[in-house]
Amino acid sequence: MRALLGAREAGEGPPLLLVHGSAASAEGWGGQLTGLRDRFHVIAVDRRGTGRSPLAPEVGAYSVAEHAQDLADLIVQRGLPTPVVCGSSFGAVITLHLARTRPELVRGVVLAEPPLPPQDRWPKVMEDFLADFRRTLAEADGPAAARLFLRTVVGEEDFESMPPAWRARSEALWPQIRMDVEALAAYPPELGALKGLRVPALMLGGSRSTGFYVFTLERLRMLLPESARLTLDGAGHMMHLDRPEAFNRAVTAFAERFIAPGA
């Protein structure tokens, strides 16, 4: 097992593990660390290569499977009693992989718009984006590639409305973005193989998000027998930041299904 991931924690009670997406870190879960601490032991991890979880010197990147193994190691080493795991964007891809490979370790998963295709293979649009992203890295610089990524993922309107300080922090995370983009491009979606996975799942979407996420969430809802889908009104892709109170209510309602009375 590798060393434990760094994390920000708050509260006591049943464990709720939060997994951030790209251009982000555990700091982005502030609204959940504050808003959910009265009901859960909230653990917002820094994924490998971010914040309190630096990469090992010999490692250049981590695959989706390796990120999921990090979560599994954390759960086992800390003796967490089958937490609910909530992932945002690329963090939702990692969370889903954890559920499909180590279902005995999780009580349920919340998947906030995983950037996976609704079919079992990557479409050409992903190949085109990857080519544009790599070209921007080579011909411009890391922050420019980060801007391309953010405009594509959150949409032009949400990108333009990002607070300058938040946008600057996101652009500075371009090495993490590069690793995540390459890891996602190398990941075989194989959503059909999820059919029958009996890990309870809540698929969360934002009403302002692009159709790319809508189709994937619907496919996952159809595949997973113990699943539900909810759209948060007025939220975009970064819904835990856009609408933290609505996001927290949805996660709480889902997680409390698995908590014994009085826990």
pLDDT in tens, 32-82: 999 999 999 999 999 988 888 876 555 567 899 999 999 999 999 999 999
Largest CA distance in the chain: 58
Q: Report residue 17: phi and psi, to 5°.
A: -100, 125
Residue 249's pLDDT is: 98
Q: For 111-146, what is each residue's pLDDT tens digit?
A: 999 999 999 889 998 999 999 999 999 999 999 999
Q: For 157-172, what is each residue's pLDDT tens digit?
A: 889 988 899 899 999 9
Full-model pTM: 0.95
Q: For 196-217, what is each residue's pLDDT tens digit?
A: 899 999 999 999 998 889 999 9
Burial of 65 (0-12, 13-18, 19+ CB in 10 A): middle
Q: Report residue 80: phi and psi, to 5°.
A: -70, 130
Higher local confidence (pLDDT), 181 or 58: 181
- For the chain, domains (ranges, CATH) are 7-121+187-258 (3.40.50.1820)
Instruction: Decide if 252 contacts 239 (C-beta within 8 A).
Output: no
Query: Which amino acid, 248?
Result: N
Residue 201's pLDDT is: 96
Return all residues near 207 (Cβ < 8 A) that are at least 6 apart: 231, 232, 233, 234, 235
Q: For 227-245, what is each residue's pLDDT tens digit?
A: 999 999 999 999 999 999 9
